[in-house]
């Protein structure tokens, strides 16, 4: 049957079982939006306040559900407003399809009104991108884009569609989507056997887990593996939730703001088993001192990550779930009682701690964990509050902690919170923000109110750009260059002016009551939690220092 390009877009989204898209209309995508209007019974559209918010919402939807997030924007500035969100998804391996409009094919390359070469702009931050100049190619490109976004190491894909292509007609026949299979072609018997020998010969094994565990749905396999190896487990920021943070084997985050027990343990281990992690500079500190007593066994789906930042002794390339299943099937249970006792001692000697004589972010987050029983989905912006969330909320399952790890995008959390709540309507979803990040995206509160998306935003308000100020205090002789906000903002009135509900927290005895009221509310909620401007995130490793050189206060 003959359909217009715009109709083909919608039919292909239905083929891929897309139930929600996030976006913002404009001239170049009017034909697509006209078809969205006609198909509102099968595809929900969430109109955000800004295209960047839409891209982060698609990202949060994808991370929290495991599905592909979809975002639509018009040409020119609409498309370029997606760039930060696409880059965020790319750095954290999030499956997303971004659909942008463009000027008609005949006007491409002529500096036409609202024309941007968005495929050129996004080439470094997408797995692949396309510009569709012939409507006859449109359906196959959309199908290929969804497959590419999901297969192997996931990531964002962009499809740029000139306006006349959405108006032209082509033959369309429905196609069952190609199934994405787990990457296993590089998993050899030899590589598995060598990994097992390394584990058997180790007396002090340590597991360092990253976001790949969550992406490959391998949380159960990782837990079984850790118990079989009898090894302690540390996670990168992106790996949080891939292993239960309330488990006895878990030692906390690793790296710049990792626990002292994790950093000292990894430094002392003789085998570091790296599962779905990429050795970020924020994890390894001084590279030649990182785990320098250990052989490194790396398990990853992406061969490009092996020997990129840290040289490995052995690697197994393939889907994390598949690799761990094979290891678990063949590996005998190990006994490392003495090593685990040593790590337990470090955990007891160097616990996380914070001042208890006043309201603090750490206390608020611990109380939020207690009240929600660790079952909420937590999104964050970027800064001190992000680290405190990773340290003090107890994530027992994957896809509950959504944060911008690779790009470090201030402004990510509010959009991600919206997307996560849309994808998980029965879950409590909380965005933990700093007051600096809140300034970047609070326009999306209008989106939450417009669509009645019942989220909670906990603003950790210290009146400064907290993490940058912390660095200025420690490394720049307290020269606070443009990090003091001093904004006289009434968060309660701001929330109410937009149709939401606001609360203030200025003392510890208010925390529990406010959280309970916020959870019971039927409208979006903003909580302004006031803390001291000089509260700091500890532990901390100074940049360029070995990770065992931990500042604890």
For residue 488, what pLDDT is reported? 84
Q: Among the listed ranges 77-81, 187-191, 420-424, which one has the minimum average pLDDT value?
A: 187-191
For residue 185, what pLDDT is reported? 83
For residue 411, what pLDDT is reported? 96
CATH of the domain at 22: 3.40.50.970
In a domain, 335, yes or no: yes
- Residues 68-78, mean pLDDT to the nearest whole number: 98
For residue 161, what pLDDT is reported? 98
Q: CA dihedral defined by 66, 71, 96, 16, rounded to 10 degrees? A: 70
- Residues 532-547, mean pLDDT to the nearest whole number: 95
In a domain, 111, yes or no: yes
Number of CB atoms found within 10 A of residue 121's CB: 17
Same domain, 112 and 229: no
Which residues in 355-500 belong to E strands, given as ranges? 377-380, 401-402, 429-434, 456-461
Residue finishing a domain among 141, 171, 201? 171
For residue 256, what pLDDT is reported? 96
In a domain, 546, yes or no: no
Residue finishing a domain among 349, 370, 387? 349
Same domain, 419 and 344: no
Same domain, 339 and 371: no
For residue 184, what pLDDT is reported? 83
pLDDT tens, position by position, 350-379: 999 998 989 999 999 999 999 999 999 999
**What pLDDT band is residue 552 in, cutting at 50, 70 and 90?**
confident
pLDDT tens, position by position, 285-340: 999 999 999 999 999 999 999 999 999 999 999 999 999 999 999 999 999 999 99
Answering whether pTM is above 0.75, one says yes
What are 89's two structure tokens?
């998804």
Same domain, 51 and 161: yes
For residue 217, what pLDDT is reported? 97
Question: How high does pLDDT run on average in the chain?
Answer: 97
Residue finishing a domain among 171, 206, 223? 171
In a domain, 377, yes or no: yes
Asked if pLDDT for residue 487 goes beyond 80, the answer is no
pLDDT tens, position by position, 266-276: 999 999 999 99
Same domain, 223 and 371: no
In a domain, 551, yes or no: no
pLDDT tens, position by position, 201-258: 999 999 999 999 999 999 999 999 999 999 999 999 999 999 999 999 999 999 999 9
For residue 148, what pLDDT is reported? 98
Locus of tokens 């001093």: 486
Same domain, 393 and 298: no
Asked if pLDDT for residue 78 goes beyond 80, the answer is yes
**How deeply is 542 buried, as exposed, middle or buried, from its count of CB atoms within 10 A (0-12, 13-18, 19+)?**
middle
pLDDT tens, position by position, 311-322: 999 999 999 999
Same domain, 199 and 318: yes
Same domain, 485 and 370: yes
User: Active-site residue numbers?
Assistant: 51, 113-114, 163, 467
What are 7's two structure tokens?
């109709």
- Percentage of the chain beyond pLDDT 90 is 97
CA 511 to centroid of chain Cα atoms:
27
Same domain, 319 and 371: no
Q: Give how far Cα 411 sits from Cα of 5, 105, 329, 442, 443, Å.
A: 34, 34, 43, 9, 11
Closest CA to 163 of 97, 101, 73: 101
In a domain, 422, yes or no: yes
In a domain, 42, yes or no: yes
Same domain, 78 and 221: no
**What pLDDT band is residue 262 in, cutting at 50, 70 and 90?**
very high
Same domain, 111 and 160: yes
pLDDT tens, position by position, 403-454: 999 999 999 999 999 999 999 999 999 999 999 999 999 999 999 999 999 9
CATH of the domain at 239: 3.40.50.1220
Same domain, 137 and 195: no
Domain that holds residue 307: 189-349
Number of domains in the chain: 3
In a domain, 254, yes or no: yes
């Amino acid at each position: 049957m003959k359909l217009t390009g715009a109709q083909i877009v919608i039919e292909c989204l239905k083929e891929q079982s897309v139930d929600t898209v996030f976006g913002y209309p404009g001239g170049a995508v009017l034909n697509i939006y006209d078809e969205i209007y006609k198909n509102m019974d099968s595809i929900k559209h969430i109109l955000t306040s800004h295209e960047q918010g839409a891209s982060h919402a698609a990202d949060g939807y994808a991370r929290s559900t495991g599905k592909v997030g979809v975002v639509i924007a018009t040409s020119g500035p609409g498309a370029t407003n997606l760039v930060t969100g696409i880059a965020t998804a790319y750095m954290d391996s999030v499956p997303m399809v971004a659909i942008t409009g463009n000027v008609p094919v005949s006007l491409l390359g002529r500096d036409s009104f609202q024309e941007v070469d968005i495929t050129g702009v996004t080439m470094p931050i997408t797995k692949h991108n396309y510009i569709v100049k012939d409507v006859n190619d449109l359906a196959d490109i959309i199908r290929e884009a969804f497959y590419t976004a999901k297969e192997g190491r996931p990531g964002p894909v962009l499809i740029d569609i000139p306006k006349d292509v959405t108006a032209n007609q082509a033959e369309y026949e429905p196609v069952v989507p190609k199934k994405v299979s787990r990457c296993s072609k590089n998993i050899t018997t030899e590589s598995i056997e060598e990994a097992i020998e390394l584990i058997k010969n180790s007396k002090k094994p340590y597991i360092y887990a990253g976001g790949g565990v969550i992406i490959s749905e391998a949380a159960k396999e990782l837990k079984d593996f850790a118990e079989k190896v009898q090894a302690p487990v540390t996670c990168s920021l992106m790996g949080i939730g891939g292993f239960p943070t309330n488990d006895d084997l878990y030692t906390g985050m690793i790296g710049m703001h990792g626990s002292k027990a994790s950093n000292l343990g990894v430094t002392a281990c003789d085998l570091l088993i790296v599962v779905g992690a990429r050795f970020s500079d924020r994890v390894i500190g001084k590279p030649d001192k990182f785990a320098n007593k250990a052989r490194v066994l790396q398990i990853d789906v992406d061969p490009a990550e092996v020997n990129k930042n840290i040289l490995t002794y052995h690697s197994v390339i393939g889907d994390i779930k598949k690799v761990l299943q094979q290891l678990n099937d063949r590996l005998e249970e190990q006994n490392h009682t003495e090593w685990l006792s040593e790590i337990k001692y470090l955990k007891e000697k160097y616990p996380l701690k914070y001042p208890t004589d006043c309201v603090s972010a750490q206390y608020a987050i611990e109380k939020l964990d207690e009240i929600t029983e660790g079952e909420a989905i937590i999104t964050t912006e970027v800064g001190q509050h992000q680290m405190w969330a990773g340290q003090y909320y107890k994530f027992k399952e994957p896809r509950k902690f959504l944060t911008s790890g690779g790009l470090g995008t201030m402004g990510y959390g509010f959009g991600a919170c919206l997307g996560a709540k849309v994808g998980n309507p029965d879950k409590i979803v909380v965005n933990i923000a700093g007051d600096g990040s809140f300034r970047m995206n609070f326009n999306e509160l209008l989106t939450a109110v417009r669509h009645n998306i019942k989220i909670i935003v906990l603003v950790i308000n210290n009146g400064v750009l907290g993490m940058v100020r912390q660095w200025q205090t420690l490394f720049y002789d307290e020269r606070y260059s443009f990090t003091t906000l001093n904004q006289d903002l009434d968060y309660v009135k701001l929330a109410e002016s937009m149709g939401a509900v606001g609360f203030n927290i200025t003392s510890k005895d208010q925390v529990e009551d406010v959280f309970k009221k916020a959870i019971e509310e039927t409208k979006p909620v903003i909580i302004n939690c006031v803390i001291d401007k000089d509260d700091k995130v500890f532990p901390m490793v100074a940049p360029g220092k070995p990770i065992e050189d931990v500042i604890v206060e």
